[in-house]
Structure 1
Amino acid sequence: MCGLNLIVDFRGNLNIDNVRQMNVATQHRGPDGSYVEHLNLASAQVFMGHNHLKIIDLSSASNQPFFSEDGRYVLIFNGEIYNYLQLKAALPTSYHWKTNTDTEVLLYWLITRGANGIAALEGMFAFALLDIQQQQILLGRDSFLIKPLYFYQDERCLVVSSEIRGVVASGVAPNRLNEGQVGHYLRFKYAQPPQTFCQNIYHLPLLANFDVNTQKLQEIPTNTTPTYSTSSIDTQTPDSQSIEELLITSIAQQLQADVPVGIFLSGGVDSTLLLSIAQELGIQNLPSFSLVNTVNNQNFGTKDFHFARLAAQQYQSVHHEYTIDATDLKDLAHWVACLDQPIADGAALLTYLLAKKARKQVKVILSGAGADELFAGYNRHWAFAQYLKKRPLLNALKPYAQWLGQGLSDGKAYPWRNKIRLTQKFFEQIDIHPAQTFVNFTQLQTIPLRKHLHLTPPQIQHTTTEKWLRWCLCYDKTHYLANDVLAMTDAMSMQQGLEVRVPYLSQALTKAIQHYPALELLKKGKKTLLKEWLNKRGGQLYTQRAKEGFGMPFGKWLQEGKLPWITNSLKKPHPVIYEWVDYPKFEKMLATHQHKKRDYTSEIWAVVVLDYWLKAKF
């Protein structure tokens, strides 16, 4: 895991200091070494930079930029190729290997197979491969978009980096706010790719080629994008056991490293299953890391820590805990400044805090990210399935249910609070059209906006419940998983120089699960398959508990007056906030929340993060 930086200078006005500045800005991604190369081509000069986090082969021979033996090709690479030993065995025996790294294997795999070889890569990655002779640069990312890559281009140069701050640090790309993304963020909690919050800086596609001579960046079509097919179920539908074996293989591959490996353990199904399989594979005393809430915060926070402790004891991990408190938010300005782009997910701060603690013990962490999207684990997946079964009746009941819901407060901490809140949100968000209903399930609904956000209604039509469910899982993987979960996981972990691996997101596992009936995934509730596999390993305690998000009691702390620096900040927000948010109505919303009449935790958090981020960046 590392950070890569690249400049292609068409006019010869830049020098190696420009890429060095990029390396400095992204140093946290690779604290084990920082390296640069300057190459003069016929039509441009190229600067390549790399920050190295050493995970496999800790020798200096593995440093990047990495040249082919004949000097024709140069690779900079961020990530891990988990099946690199199998790929290495499939390459010609004439290669003279000088390292034991996946970097060298990836270099020669791309030289031998080209862009067509990308589909065989099992891993998480972003890379830039320069062919000096042909003056072509192949740029690629993994199909889940686990590893980020951004670019800026004008008439002077092309700049590519693992982070937006790397692009800006080149001294070429201006740091100007793309205000068009503010509205999307206030509705969906993140920016809308390929655009970013910075003008003219974009996400790179999965695969692209840059021709140095013509100065043209061209996307290469690829069929490796993980989709939950809406076509008819394959006649060779995989069974539960074969899919389980693919998960076991993925975990075994991702446990391999030349440095200490640990696990983020929540006590939920996803992470507990990973831990139980790791123990089954013979991994003893795996370090595990969890966050702890106080008991009186559990209705606004999470009880995960209780189950994490039990899982650690049952599956024999060496457990470490970090107790979160309102005072952790005193460092909010620093934490938000670490984000390339604002993401309105409270789990981002918690990931930052947990990664900071874990990095003192390990260099690699396993995470359960991606399990919910693949195996139908969110409340909205179950809710959408119920809606599809009874949508005419539910739409008819909507006005009455909303009227009854007005008399029920979700602003206080009491045992049935979460169920009442979910029921209220369900009836507020259902629509006549199924696609719009599911999109509503994924949005923040109640932030009062001064500008109308023009959202194109989803033009999706399916005729069966099965196809609708398959579509909604694909929607979540394409949008929420890539732009929220994986983006914030990468940003927060790499800020600490910690590599996070996600065993549920393997190519082989995804290809199998996309041919498994979505209705079967929800047959016995959310994550039917994962619960079945964990039950086999004695995990009934974790499969029978209610699902909770990776949350903190931010809403309760606001009500208790424990965050005065945040509420004071909201009285003088960044000017852009005023342009989008109707501030008198938002102040009323904040007061309603503080008086425990309604719970607006998510909406308030979204505005707070955006306000702090804008003040830090612009």
Structure 2
Amino acid sequence: MCGIVGIVNRNRTVIDPAILTRMGDTLKHRGPDDEGDFIDGCVGLHHKRLAIIDLVSGHQPMSSGHLTLVFNGEIYNYIELREALKQKGHQFQTNSDTEVILKMYAEYGTDAIKQLNGMFAFLLYDREQNRLIAARDHFGIKPLYYYASNEYFLFASEIKALLQHPAVPAEADYEAMQEYVTFQYIIGDSTLFKGIHKLLPAHYQVIDLELMRVRTVRYWESCFVVDVHHTEEYFIYTLRTLLEDAIQLQLRSDVPVGTYLSGGIDSSIVTMLASKFYSKRLKTFTGAFFEGPEFDESSYAREVAAACDAEMFLIYPTDIEFIETLPRLIYHMDEPVAGPGLFPQYMVSRLAAREVTVVLGGQGGDEIFAGYTRYVVAYLEQVLKGAIFETNEEGEHIVSMSSILPNLPILQQYVPMLKHFWEHGTFEEMDRRYFSLVERIDGRSSLLSQDFLATYDREKIFRHFQQIFNHPDTLSYFNKMVNFDMVASLPALLQVEDRVSMAVSLESRVPLLDYRIVDLVTSMPPRMKFKGAETKHILKKTMKDLLPEKIMTRKDKMGFPVPLHLWAKNRAGDFLRDILLSSSCRNRGIFDERQIQRSIENDEPFSRRLWGILNLELWHQQFIDQPANAQNL
């Protein structure tokens, strides 16, 4: 796991090594073990290394003939690829997966990217073809940002590195900000910084260094064309085989490995399988809060740790740690995304980094296997709609009134959300209803100012949402929801996963996002995956012999809730007021001061309204108001 930087001077001037070094130095937390530069005229590459595979000879930038590479991530099938390349006559000087990428490209060109099973972002300079390749893994587990102007092509693992280049301004993109306040993430390749973009997951760019032109290619997309030929038994057997293989591949490491363990289905499966295949006693890492049982899943985590004889490490983050840590976390994040789970995830990562260098987690399971309760809410309304109007928009009934009833108790703690969801728009089109389920803005009780809301274009954002939601291959409501979450919201969660681990020089792996698993699951008939609106039905059925009964029968899904509304009534309340009622925040004109004060005093449990604007204001203060000082945090 590493940090990478790339510069192409389009004016063909020679790279300034001081600028390259300055950009790379902002990424030292990503790679404290080694560093290196490569400069060839108008092309410059920089690498910061966290050594995981081949600790001795894996130095980067790595060159092979006319090829030079800087690479962030891991290629899990590198051993198999290396053996196949040897059969073709390739010779290797190291045992690293980095060299495998170089040889794969030498053999297959850009088609090599399709054969990589891993998490990766890399820059590959081909001196003979006079081009630079920038590539990112299937789901965007590893980040890669870029800035393009008439003078430069710039790349980096984190935005803060790009901001160290004198040509890159730190300017807020207020159009992108409208999407952030809607979803608490930004759809597509935009960021909150004007002119700075993400290379999208499953894409690569080819920069022609002769013509200084860019070509962007999508090399993979999950397919929701339903496989009607195979039985449920086939899918269960194949899924189990792929899950076990993915875990074994991702346990490959020359440093100690552990797992995140929340006590939920996903992390429990990863932990149980990892303990089965890991050669040593597994270490697991769990977080909880003292504020009450609704903030503490540790009893479930203990059940799993005991079942696989793992060594369990537990941490209880506090409000004081929240106050001290959040500004630094905003710096590491580059831009705010997702919910308050950022804070406890960081605290658990910091705990894990004291014991291991690699950790496996269950991220992605909710998106791939439909684990969100909002899917149940959506189908509860859908079956009511069908029963009342005697219609079925999907062509076949995936969920019926009788089949959904046993799975409704999971909604008990979501009654406030149900009330809000059914206040307006009931029985509208599927895209309108799911948009209402995922949006975080509420114009009637918003913390945003009237001036901001006057410029807010909800319909424009909805049209962007529709482009993803109404994918032509997703014929069922279920697949439309899953596809949107995979394409739009999952990258935000993976950004959190990457940043909280890299902030403490820890490599986080997510085996449920092996693209082979996703290809299999997206091809399954929806009624098989979501039988009776049971979340993660097919996953539970596949792993029923592995997990403790207490985990299998859980109906109190938590998702790492943070007691922010309780902390706001005590010491954290002063912290919130200092930030959100400050003169700089008031002068910004984005937020409603009276609503903020009211929300600090009376925010609801698990609400994300305060969280969203708190992160946005801290981001402004660190990166826009005084960007030169952000790196000193």
Q: Which residue of 2 aligns with 1:540?
A: 549
SS at 1:361's partner residue?
coil
Between the aligned partners of 1:500 and 1:157, the Cα distance in structure 2 is: 32
Q: How does 1:307-318 map onto structure 2 within 5 Å?
A: 307-318=300-311
Q: How do residues 17-32 of structure 1 correspond to structure 2 at under 5 angstroms?
A: 17-32=18-33
Matches of 2:50 and 2:595 in 1, distance apart?
Answer: 47
Q: CA deviation at 1:390?
A: 2.1
- Look up the SS of the partner of 1:239 in the other structure: helix
Once residues 613 and 393 of structure 1 are traced to their aligned partners in structure 2, the CA distance between those partners, rounded to angstroms, is 47
**Residue 90 to residue 529, structure 1, CA distance change in 2 (3 Å):** same
The residue number in structure 2 matching 1:36 is 37
Alignment correspondent of 2:154: 159
Between 24-33 and 571-580, report the one with greater CA deviation.
571-580
- Cross-structure match for 1:470: 479
Residue of structure 2 equivalent to 1:508: 516
TM-score (norm 1): 0.89
Pick from 483, 488, 492 the counterpart of residue 500 of structure 2.
492
Q: Does structure 2 conserve the Cα–Cα contact (< 8 Å) formed by 1:286 and 1:317?
A: yes
What one-letter code is carried by the residue in structure 2 that aligns with 1:503?
A: P
The 1-side partners of 2:474 and 2:146 are apart by 40
Amino acid at match of 1:39: D
Deviation at 1:617, TM superposition (A): 1.2
- Note if contact 1:184-1:453 (Cα within 8 Å) is conserved in structure 2: no
1:442 is matched with 438
- The CA distance in 2 between the partners of 1:339 and 1:394, in whole Å, is 46
> Residues 253 and 428 of structure 1: is their aligned pair in 2 closer, same or farther, counting only changes over 3 Å?
farther
Q: Are 1:270 and 1:530, in contact at CA under 8 Å, matched by a contact in 2?
A: no
Moved more, 366-375 or 456-465: 456-465
Matches within 5 A, 1:109-148: 109-148=104-143
Mapped contact 1:110–1:117 kept (Cα < 8 A)? yes
Q: 2:422 aligns to what SS in structure 1?
A: helix
1:56 matches 2:60: no
Give the drift of 1:469: 0.8
- Structure 2 CA distance for aligned equivalents of residues 90 and 354 of structure 1: 39
- Tell me the SS of whatever aligns to 1:89: helix
Q: Look up the match of 1:355.
A: 349
* More displaced stretch, 129-138 vs 329-338: 329-338
Matching of residue 617 in structure 1 with residue 617 in structure 2: no
Aligned to 1:409: none
C-alpha distance in structure 2 between counterparts of 1:33 and 1:334, whole Å: 24
Match of 1:603 in 2: 609
Q: Distance in 1 between matches of 2:473 and 2:269?
A: 32
User: Tell me, what secondary structure is at the counterpart of 1:559?
Assistant: coil
Instruction: Indicate whether 1:271 and 2:267 are aligned.
Output: yes
One-letter identity of the residue aligned with 2:592? D
Residue identity opposite 2:7 in structure 1: I
SS in 2 for 1:566: helix
User: Does residue 488 of structure 2 align to residue 479 of structure 1?
Assistant: yes
- CA distance in 2 between counterparts of 1:233 and 1:532 reads 19
Residue by residue over 1:331-361, the C-alpha shift from the partner in whole angstroms, topping out at 9 and shown as x without a partner, is: 1222222221112411111111111111111
State the shift of 1:95 in Å.
2.1
Residue identity in the other structure for 2:3: G
Cα offset, 1:601, TM superposition: 2.6
The letter of the residue matching 2:271 is L
CA–CA distance in structure 2, aligned partners of residues 467 and 100 of structure 1 = 46
> Using the alignment, how far apart are the partners of 2:112 and 2:611 within structure 1?
43
Q: 1:462 to 1:33 in 2, by over 3 A?
A: closer
- Deviation, 1:156, is 1.8
Distance in 1, Cα, partners of 2:471 & 2:172:
39
- Aligned pair in 2 of structure 1 residues 420, 573: CA closer, same or farther (>3 Å)? farther
- For residue 325 of structure 1, what is the aligned residue in structure 2? 318
Partner of residue 218 from structure 1, selected from 190, 202, 215: 215
Determine which of 567, 580, 585 is the counterpart of 1:570. 580
Equivalent residue for 2:199?
204
Inter-partner Cα distance in structure 2 for 1:394 and 1:313? 49
Does the CA-based 8 Å contact 1:284-1:316 persist in structure 2?
no
After superposition, the C-alpha distances for 1:504-526 in whole angstroms (9 at most, x for unaligned) are: 00111111111112222121511
SS of 1:432's equivalent? coil
**What's the Cα RMSD here?**
2.4
Whether the 8 Å CA contact 1:267–1:305 is kept in 2: the answer is yes
- In the alignment, the residues of structure 2 paired with residue 461 and residue 334 of structure 1 have an alpha-carbon distance, to the nearest angstrom, of 38
Out of 428-437 and 367-376, give the one that drifted further: 428-437
Q: Deviations over 1:104-142 (max 9, x none)?
A: 011110121112222211111011111112211111111
Q: 1:58-77 residue pairs with structure 2 within 5 A?
A: 58-59=55-56, 61-68=57-64, 70=65, 72-77=66-71
1:343 alignment counterpart: 337
Deviation digits for residues 225-261 of structure 1 (CA, Å, limit 9, x no counterpart):
234x1x3434246421111110110001001100000
Distance 1:201 1:465 in 2: 31
Q: Secondary structure, in 3 states, of the residue corresponding to 1:20?
A: helix
2:37 partner letter: V
Retained in 1: the 8 A contact 2:581–2:593?
Answer: no
Is the deviation greater in 181-190 or in 460-469? 460-469
Q: Does residue 299 of structure 2 align to residue 303 of structure 1?
A: no
Q: Which whole-Å deviations, capped at 9, do the CAs of 1:541-576 have from their partners, x for residues lacking one?
A: 012122111221111211345432222322126448
- What is the SS of the residue equivalent to 2:488? helix
Percent identity of the aligned residues? 25
| Residue identity in the other structure for 1:9 | N
Query: What is the TM-score with the length of structure 2 in the denominator?
Result: 0.87
Aligned to 1:400: none
Counterpart of 2:499, as a letter, is A
* Partner SS for 2:512: coil
State whether structure 2 residue 569 is matched by structure 1 residue 559: yes
Q: Which runs of 5+ in 1 are unaligned?
A: 397-414
CA distance in 2, matches of 1:264, 1:204: 28
Measured against aligned partners, the alpha-carbon deviations of 1:310-339 in whole angstroms (never above 9, x if no partner) come to: 211221111111111111122122222222
The AA in structure 2 aligned to 1:523 is K
Q: Which amino acid aligns with 2:216?
A: E
Q: Would you say the 8 A contact 1:267–1:311 is kept in 2?
A: yes
Please state whether the residue corresponding to 1:536 is helix, strand or coil: coil
Paired residues of 1:269 and 1:534 also in contact (CA < 8 A)? no
Moved more, 583-592 or 188-197: 583-592
The alignment of Structure 1 onto Structure 2 pairs a total of residues equal to 582
Q: Tell me how far apart the structure 1 counterparts of residues 423 and 164 of structure 2 sit (CA, whole Å).
A: 44
Q: 1:411 maps to what in 2? A: none
Deviation at 1:219, TM superposition (A): 0.5
Offset, 1:187: 1.2
